[in-house]
Amino acid sequence: MAVRLAIFDCDGTLVDSQADIALAMEAAFAAHALPPPPRAAIRRIVGLSLGEAIRQLAPHASADTASGLVQAYKDAFRARRSAGMVEEPLYDGIAALIAELDAAGWMLGVATGKSDRGLAHCLEHHGLTGHFVTLQTADRHPSKPDPAMIEACLDATGGTRAMTVMIGDTAYDMAMAVNAGVRAIGVDWGYHHADELVAAGAEAVAGSVGELRLLLKGLEA
């Protein structure tokens, strides 16, 4: 029997990282004597690769300034992590769901705008690393909604498009799934509204981890 593959976004799907992202982004803009973007604008770009996020938040910045903002964000986030200030709490019920899916024979992956280092820290902190067989990040792929991360997950696992589902909280995740030809399930506890997820291609939007569990169980039939 073919094995099913569930690919999860990280920020806004597995963990609530918006506060840490916003604080690091504000520090990056302050380092360049630029006014910080509104928190609502920062929330909108969570999930994109860092370079694309900066382009959207500072569309008129020169190439040098944009590059400097990217590095300043990395420095600010790394400093916060080194100081033990990064929290990125798991959403309630996520750890149990991941363990259940793994035990039920699903292959699990992550496709995220985080860096390799950031994702590794996050999963290790929450004791989830061993559940995932493929980890794809913005370090090695174009930004969502380009399908490259999902394509890499399929290549790494031998999964089929018909038996693969992308789970995420943003329109970028849903559009990436559509572009890759896999199923898309949204979650409404993250950073984009449910109607945006549906418009971008979600076949369903879970309002809780319990609902997500039921939706995924329905795919096992």
Please state, for a pLDDT cut of 90, what percent of the chain lies above it: 97
Q: Would strands 164-168 and 183-187 be described as parallel, antiparallel, or unpaired?
A: parallel
Phi-psi region of 208 (alpha: psi -120 to 50; beta: other; left: phi over 0): beta
* Together in a domain, 146 and 195: yes
Say which of 11, 16, 169, 173 is annotated catalytic: 11
Which pLDDT band, with edges at 50, 70 and 90, does 3 fall under? Answer: confident
Structural domain of 145: 5-16+88-218
| Residue 187 identity (one-letter amino acid) | V
Which member of 9, 16, 20, 173 is catalytic?
9
User: What are the φ and ψ backbone dihedral angles of 194, each rounded to 5 degrees?
Assistant: -60, -40
pTM: 0.96
Asked if 56 contacts 25 with a C-beta cutoff of 8 angstroms, the reply is no
Whether residue 185 is predicted with pLDDT greater than 60 in this model: the reply is: yes
Which residues have C-beta within 8 Å of that of residue 169, sequence separation ≥ 6? 9, 12, 13, 47, 186, 187, 188, 189, 190, 191, 192, 197
CATH of the domain at 46: 1.10.150
pLDDT digits (tens, 9 = 90+) for 125-164: 999 999 999 999 999 999 999 999 999 999 999 999 999 9
Residue 1 has pLDDT above 70, yes or no: no
- Residue 162's CATH number: 3.40.50.1000
Q: What is the DSSP letter of 2?
A: P
9 catalytic residue (yes or no): yes
